[in-house]
Amino acid sequence: MEAMLSVAVGGPETLELTKMADPTPGKGELLIRVRAAGVNFPDTLIIRDLYQMKPPRPFAPGGEIAGEVLAIGEGVSGFTEGDRILALTGHGGFVTHLNIKASAAVKIPDEMTFEDAACFIFTYGTSHHALKDRAQIQPGETLLILGAAGGVGAAAIELAKAAGAKVIAAVSSDEKAEFCRQIGADETIVYPRELDRDAQRALSAEIKKLSGGQGVDVVYDAVGGDYAEPALRAMAWKGRFLVVGFPAGIPKIPLNLTLLKGSQIVGVFWGASVFQEPKGHAENMADLFRLYAEGKIKPQISARFPLVGVPQALEMMQDRKVMGKVVITLD
């Protein structure tokens, strides 16, 4: 087998493509021939030891895979060799062969490609949990998405439109704005790379204008930093502010704004919810497979790389150049 390994703390340039012995599945495990692996922002953090999870080195990043079952370990039932599955791995996914716990594997529909499957669960799982479980978004409400052209942002656009909401997509370039319009956004805002107080006020005013003057009902914040406060200021009465990610830094929020607007700041930790609420996670996965079958959601894959191209894929991710999803293909 081959693996793209993190051998030292650092950026994508520290990764090394390495040949290793093929693994053998242990008790309760499946051996997977990985066909595709999704690239996500946490992959850029884990190799720098900046993520919640800090696996011992050497390790392969890559938290999301799709492939075929090659062998089945002792005590595993419900799977046969050749089954097509997807799984969240946390790390270890940028490899050709991988042992996973059988409980982590989810069989994928026949009509779903390996690439779509490898780019499915992390982004759609996060955004569906955010909009359905945490925001309880309703038809006719207005949603503002910060970082709307990224993986979770693009998923949020599709899911919000499927739920009957109006979507305002906020992004950092005209190219990303056009991408968001193509996948269903009703309105777009291009915000500057850096915000001073005047720019924050201008951004808040633009959000309110595009919402029809009433403010937005839900904010999906996958950016953080100086963008959070103007979005919160542009919220409607009893709005819900979803805390999803912080690539621009952890924001400092004036809590008096939540009092004045009767609003809520709601954390979105989808990874924890999977374990804390397994029944709800299973229901959400059924929802997502149904929406995929109906053609209402489909991963927006903008770039593909072979295993040797993992460093370039991570550079795109960390430089915020990705629109939709990037996938590593291993066929």
Q: Per residue in 2-57, pLDDT tens?
A: 999 999 999 999 999 999 999 999 999 999 999 999 999 899 999 999 988 899 99
What is the token pair recorded at 52? 């919640």
Q: What's the CA gap between 217 and 263, in Å, rounded? A: 9
Three-state DSSP at 167 gives strand
pLDDT band for position 76 (cuts 50, 70, 90) = very high
**How many angstroms separate the most distant Cα atoms in the chain?**
63
Cis peptide before 56 (omega within 30 of 0): no
User: Which amino acid appears at position 326 of this protein?
Assistant: V
CATH 3.90.180.10 fits 2-120+299-329, yes or no: yes
Q: What percent of the chain has pLDDT over 90?
A: 93
Q: What percent of the chain has pLDDT over 70?
A: 100
Query: Tokens 């809590």 sit at which residue?
Result: 255
> Given a cut of 90, is residue 314 above it in pLDDT?
yes
User: Which amino acid appears at position 171 of this protein?
Assistant: V
- Cβ atoms 169, 221 nearer than 8 A: no
Average pLDDT on 302-306 reads 96
Three-state DSSP at 128 gives helix
Q: What's the CA gap between 93 and 70, in Å, rounded? A: 16
pLDDT band for position 193 (cuts 50, 70, 90) = confident
> Given a cut of 80, is residue 84 above it in pLDDT?
yes
- Cβ atoms 307, 96 nearer than 8 A: yes
Q: What is the pLDDT of residue 275?
A: 86
> Given a cut of 90, is residue 271 above it in pLDDT?
no
> Given a cut of 80, is residue 278 above it in pLDDT?
yes
pTM of the model: 0.91
Query: Tokens 């490609």 sit at which residue?
Result: 113
- CATH 3.40.50.720 segments of the chain: 122-271
- Cβ atoms 105, 87 nearer than 8 A: yes
CATH superfamily of 122-271: NAD(P)-binding Rossmann-like Domain (3.40.50.720)
- CATH 3.90.180.10 segments of the chain: 2-120+299-329
Mean pLDDT computed over every residue of the chain: 95
